[in-house]
Amino acid sequence: MHPFPAIVLLATLPAQAAGYAPRPDLEAGRYLKALGEAEERLKQEPDNALAWAAKAQALTALVRLPEAAAAADRALALKPGLADALLARGLVRGALAVQKRNFGSVLSIGSALDDLKAAVAADPGLVTGWMSLGVAYQQLPGILGGSAKLALAAAESLKQVDQPRGDVLQGTVLALQGRWADAQPCFARALAAAPRDPEVVYGYLEALGSRETRKVLGDAPQKRQQAEEALRLLPGVATRAQAVCAICDALLDADRGEDAWRIAREALPEADAPSLMRLELGKISARSNLHSEEGLAALDQVLREPLEGGSGGYGTAHWRRGQILKNLGRKAEARAAAEAALRLDPKDPKAQRLLKELS
């Protein structure tokens, strides 16, 4: 998760060159749009460091990591110390470390943290910088620099720039500490201030559905709350793909797969990111064993078209196809789908596990 009013403020920050302001699209998860505009800008201005930084951030979200790393390096070569470029390099270094999954990735994680800290020091108004730093502090073990105290401090800094998303970060950290009673007021403030912000809705429902919250609430009460809250929040975000996906996930967790499928299908025609909704349909089908052929058709279309960032990339679509095909007993095709996912990321644990199940 990286939760990103803020739009006007972001558009006026010094790092935004006159006539070119990529941050709002990046903060809102419009990565394909941000990538297209960055590439157009670079055709006109090949040495535009901000455009290279925006391209790097978009490519990272699209899981095109080698290209993202090269773009981030280019941005920093052109303008050392540019906050957006430091953020871009930190994000791609972190993504590469996760993908490598080996001892050498420890150094990459440390470098990623250093870049994120440098980015927010260079520009304290960098929303994604504070959010990414807070999440990293919370998720990393102490030996690698993780600290709940530092994560909460990042949330306080984020509140100075974007109060609702700062509240979401604070609530997320508290929820992951098993402090759901303390997290709830944070999410309540965020939802009251920005009920139509997909990142706020996503962050809240993800925290509500976490294992840590389950330990506090119990399994049945958690599922009941997930379903109730998902349906309550839906009307305000019915065309926002990221939020609708979070709502569908909550319903899936609550064992309401048919409701999740219906909502995703109804959202698809007007959704701001149709590729995410089709990927969600595949996910619902894979997890619930419902509407298998339609789920496969949705995933096939995902694989033929540009896929919005923040989704896990095409490897996720191949893996979900493999799950559905396995459920249908079509093992050879399922194995081919898992292998396709592994060609994109040879260390993908989900695809590795599926392939092992099919052996």
DSSP letters along 118-177, please? HHHHH-TT-HHHHHHHHHHHHHS-GGGT--HHHHHHHHHHHHTT-HHHHHHHHHHHHHHT
Specify if 319 maps to a domain. Answer: no
Domain around 46? 1-161
Choosing from 217, 238, 263, the residue where a domain stops is: 217
Cα angle value 266/165/29 (rounded, 5°): 50
pLDDT at residue number 140: 85
- What tokens does 39 get? 């590439």
By the 8 A CB rule, do 354 and 326 touch? Answer: yes
- Is residue 82 domain-shared with residue 204, that is, in the same domain? no
Specify if 40 maps to a domain. Answer: yes
- Is residue 119 domain-shared with residue 179, that is, in the same domain? no
Q: Is residue 320's pLDDT more than 90?
A: yes
- Is residue 110 domain-shared with residue 6, that is, in the same domain? yes
How many structural domains is the chain composed of? 2
d(CA 310, CA 316): 11
pTM over 0.85, yes/no: yes
Choosing from 217, 246, 264, the residue where a domain stops is: 217
Q: Is residue 329's pLDDT more than 90?
A: yes
Choosing from 217, 251, 285, the residue where a domain stops is: 217
d(CA 207, CA 67): 32
What's the pLDDT tens digit per position in 65-101? 999 999 999 999 999 999 999 999 999 999 998 887 6
- Is residue 58 domain-shared with residue 126, that is, in the same domain? yes
d(CA 134, CA 2): 10
- What tokens does 144 get? 């690698």
CA dihedral 235, 237, 239, 245 (to 10 degrees): -110
- Is residue 149 domain-shared with residue 48, that is, in the same domain? yes
Q: In sequence order, which residues have a C-beta less than 8 Å from that of residue 148 and are 6 or more positions away?
A: 137, 138, 173, 177
pLDDT at residue number 16: 43
- Is residue 38 domain-shared with residue 183, that is, in the same domain? no
Specify if 350 maps to a domain. Answer: no
CATH assignment at residue 76: 1.25.40.10
Q: Give which of 10, 35, 3 is closest to 308, Cα–Cα.
A: 35
What's the pLDDT tens digit per position in 98-130? 887 654 566 678 899 999 999 999 999 999 999
Specify if 270 maps to a domain. Answer: no
- Is residue 152 domain-shared with residue 196, that is, in the same domain? no
- Is residue 7 domain-shared with residue 120, that is, in the same domain? yes
